[in-house]
Amino acid sequence: MSITLEQVTKRYQGQPVVNDVSLTVAEGEFFVLLGPSGSGKSTLLRAIAGLVDIDDGTIALHGSDVTHVGARQRGVGFVFQHYALFRHLTIADNIEFALRVRRMKAADRRERRKELLKLVALEGMDERLPAQLSGGQQQRVAVARALAHKPQVLLLDEPFGALDAKIREELRWTIRRVQRELGITTVLVTHDQEEAFALADRIGVMNLGRLLEVGAPRDLYARPTTRFVATFLGAANLLLALQGAEGIRLGTTPVDATVRTPALTGREHEVVTVLRPEEVEMAAEREQLTTSYMGRATVEELQFTGALERLRLKLLDNQHAVQTTGNGAEGRIEATRLQSERRAMPLAVGAVVALGARRMHVLPTPLSSFSIHAADEAAAQLLAQAPLLETLAGRMKTRVATCADASDGAPNARPGVAVIEGSDGAALRAVQLLRAGANEVLLLSPSTTLPEQICMFWLDDAARHATMAVTASLLRHLPAEAVCVATAPAGRRDAKRANALRALLDARSEARAAHALETRTELVPGEGPQALGEYLAGLSAPLLVLGTADITTAEAALGALLARRPGMPVLVVYRESAR
């Protein structure tokens, strides 16, 4: 393996900007780190080069640990966004810089320089100054300079950022060709998904300092596992659908969808599906559709973009069942079609069409949307404004529905995570909701802020997988520390303690392998929920993810925990144990 990162963390003033990133880049691979600005991708690249010290984790290049080796000794080739050519030196001197540092003979230097200038197609430019070259040419010189000392790794930090579209495209070809010719392991950082698709063997998508998903461009586009990747890589309509034993349905209409993960539980539950704009089919009538019918819609907006026509449609019926998220407006669907399709059925703003979905992909994320259950609308609104819920829903780009329950009767579970106020009697209400069909219940108060630690704990092993999945999903949206907690009686019974420890470490590696979730582990002395309560009481701002497969034990545990630390946010994850 050419580059190996293990649990790399970098903090600025206590805030992690790169959070627990583990990654391996193979020999000769072209890897693209993609993410919005501020996602930590540049910091990670600079950490690989040694320009930034990391706080935790290890970095290895070609099998040798270079975590504490300076940038100078790492000897990687680095290309900066703004070229960083030595402005007072000629192109020749720029390219020969690394060779002069290494005291290479003048004749050898000249030979290598000619070779490199040929590689980047800039022969004869030797005696010019950087200022006499165009931006694209300067960046090609920067690439040549970074390759002069034959580094085994080439790192490029947004190399096309400062260039205009045409030159960008041209330089993209140059870099791909150079990389192929030399077979050099390359990591490129960009925020441009088109660039990532064009260049990468594999893409790693980063957000909020975490590396969310890694995969080949095609796979990431067709089968993303997170909302962020689904919407960041190309446009996407995120639709809330229901998954049951018979398959996926949008409202009342069954649809074809690729489902990678089997149904979470036997009960019908809400899932998030990805519908790419190009997979939306449009026809005048429902009968003319060749794919699953989604509903009728009016054309709200039309955009000509050259090869494609972009449409924004508003669903007319099925609107409440099909809750769209992702593009900011509920009930709106984004679609694109080819010019040939446009000619076959010209549409104008205001036209009504029947929509079909050619292909949908179900995200394996366990958290779909939120439904607040409160005594009245006002209380529900208050709860909806809790900073934790507002941030979470905003980042998940999902719906927060409110419903007032009759105060005497048992609540009706709605799709998604049920949200209730964590006041007196909350344990009972949570249990009622679980019995009524909810799979997750979130307990919080209107003043609950973002947690600093997300602790996961399961009362039954059957709920372990789901607890981890939910925690991993939360951590993609909240920059908190993940802690995997287990309890073991303190004292002499060493065998029991060792077992608990082993289970904890197994859980940790499972979290890492199955959910790409890096966790800290904490073995708390004591028995069950009481010990857990003591541990949580010592944390600054915890959020507990409590997994259970048995509703009765959950009620007791929840009651004990809330009594020990009232007002603490708890997300109860219930999965019926498979019998």
Partner 1 sequence: MTRIILILVSLLFLSALLFAPLAVVFASAFENGLGAWFQSFTDSDTGAAIRLTLLTAAIVVPLNTLFGVCAAWCIAKFEFPGKSMLITLIDLPMAVSPVVSGLIYVLLFGAQGWFGAWLQEHDISIIFAVPGIVIATMFVTFPYVARELIPLMQQLGNDEEEAAITLGAGGWFTFFHVTLPRIRWGLLYGVILCNARAMGEFGAVSVVSGHIRGLTNTMPLHIEALYQDYSMSGAFAVASLLSLLAVVTLIIKTLLEWRMGVHHR
State the minimum distance, in angstroms, from the CB of residue 345 to partner 1.
Answer: 53
Interface with partner 1 includes 21 (CB under 8 A)?
Answer: no
Task: Output the CA angle 487-492-495, nearest 5 degrees.
Answer: 65
Residue 146 contacts residue 178 (beta carbons within 8 Å): no
Interface with partner 1 includes 68 (CB under 8 A)?
Answer: no
Region of 145-153, 234-242, 308-316, 491-499 interacting with partner 1 (CB under 8 A): 145-153
Residue 416: how many CB atoms within 10 A of its CB? Answer: 25
Interface with partner 1 includes 146 (CB under 8 A)?
Answer: yes
Interface with partner 1 includes 49 (CB under 8 A)?
Answer: yes
Q: Which is nearer to partner 1, 102 or 493 (CB)?
A: 102
- Restricting to residues 414-433, which ones interact with partner 1 according to CB under 8 A? none
State the minimum distance, in angstroms, from the CB of residue 403 to partner 1.
Answer: 50
Site string for partner 1, 433-462 (x = CB under 8 A): ------------------------------
Interface with partner 1 includes 154 (CB under 8 A)?
Answer: no
Interface with partner 1 includes 82 (CB under 8 A)?
Answer: yes
Task: Output the CA angle 115-75-89, nearest 5 degrees.
Answer: 55
> Of the candidates 88, 150, 260, 435, which one interacts with partner 1 according to CB under 8 A?
88
Interface with partner 1 includes 97 (CB under 8 A)?
Answer: yes
Residue 380 contacts residue 405 (beta carbons within 8 Å): no
Would you put residue 280 in left (φ > 0), alpha (ψ -120 to 50) or beta? Answer: beta
State the minimum distance, in angstroms, from the CB of residue 196 to partner 1.
Answer: 23
Q: What does R_g of the chain's alpha carbons equal in angstroms? A: 27
Interface with partner 1 includes 78 (CB under 8 A)?
Answer: yes
Interface with partner 1 includes 520 (CB under 8 A)?
Answer: no
End-to-end CA gap in the chain: 43
Region of 83-91, 491-499, 531-539, 542-550 interacting with partner 1 (CB under 8 A): 83-91
Interface with partner 1 includes 493 (CB under 8 A)?
Answer: no
State the minimum distance, in angstroms, from the CB of residue 127 to partner 1.
Answer: 17
Q: Which is nearer to partner 1, 109 or 296 (CB)?
A: 109
Interface with partner 1 includes 69 (CB under 8 A)?
Answer: no
Strands (E) in 246-307, as ranges, are 247-250, 253-255, 257-258, 269-275, 280-283, 292-304
Interface with partner 1 includes 159 (CB under 8 A)?
Answer: no
> Of the candidates 11, 149, 267, 564, which one interacts with partner 1 according to CB under 8 A?
149
Interface with partner 1 includes 47 (CB under 8 A)?
Answer: no
Longest CA–CA span in the chain (Å) reads: 91
| Tokens standing for residue 433 | 């909701």
The one-letter code for the residue type at 494 is D
Cα dihedral sign for 210, 215, 217, 222?
A: negative
Region of 76-84, 293-301, 410-418, 501-509 interacting with partner 1 (CB under 8 A): 76-84
Q: Which SS3 state, helix, strand or coil, does residue 420 take?
A: strand
State the minimum distance, in angstroms, from the CB of residue 86 to partner 1.
Answer: 6
Contacts of 278 (CB under 8 A, 6+ apart): 335, 336, 337
Interface with partner 1 includes 145 (CB under 8 A)?
Answer: yes
Interface with partner 1 includes 98 (CB under 8 A)?
Answer: yes
Q: Which SS3 state, helix, strand or coil, does residue 429 take?
A: helix
Task: Measure the CA dihedral 392/515/210/82, to 10°.
Answer: -130
Q: Which SS3 state, helix, strand or coil, does residue 485 take?
A: strand
- Restricting to residues 102-141, which ones interact with partner 1 according to CB under 8 A? 102
Interface with partner 1 includes 200 (CB under 8 A)?
Answer: no
Q: Which is nearer to partner 1, 145 or 210 (CB)?
A: 145
Taking alpha carbons only, the member of 308, 313, 292 closest to residue 360 is 292
Taking alpha carbons only, the member of 176, 146, 147, 171 closest to residue 159 is 171
Region of 77-85, 217-225, 304-312, 535-543 interacting with partner 1 (CB under 8 A): 77-85
Q: Packing angle between helix 528-537 and helix 551-564, nearest 10 degrees?
A: 30
Taking alpha carbons only, the member of 235, 257, 231 closest to residue 246 is 257
The distance from CA 308 to its chain's CA centroid, rounded to whole angstroms, is 28
Q: Which SS3 state, helix, strand or coil, does residue 280 take?
A: strand
> Of the candidates 47, 61, 85, 570, which one interacts with partner 1 according to CB under 8 A?
85
Q: Which is nearer to partner 1, 149 or 176 (CB)?
A: 149
Region of 69-77, 252-260, 278-286, 423-431 interacting with partner 1 (CB under 8 A): 69-77
Interface with partner 1 includes 482 (CB under 8 A)?
Answer: no
* DSSP assigned state of 174: H
List of residues contacting partner 1 (CB under 8 A): 49-51, 70-72, 74-78, 80, 82, 84-89, 97-98, 101-102, 142, 145-146, 148-149
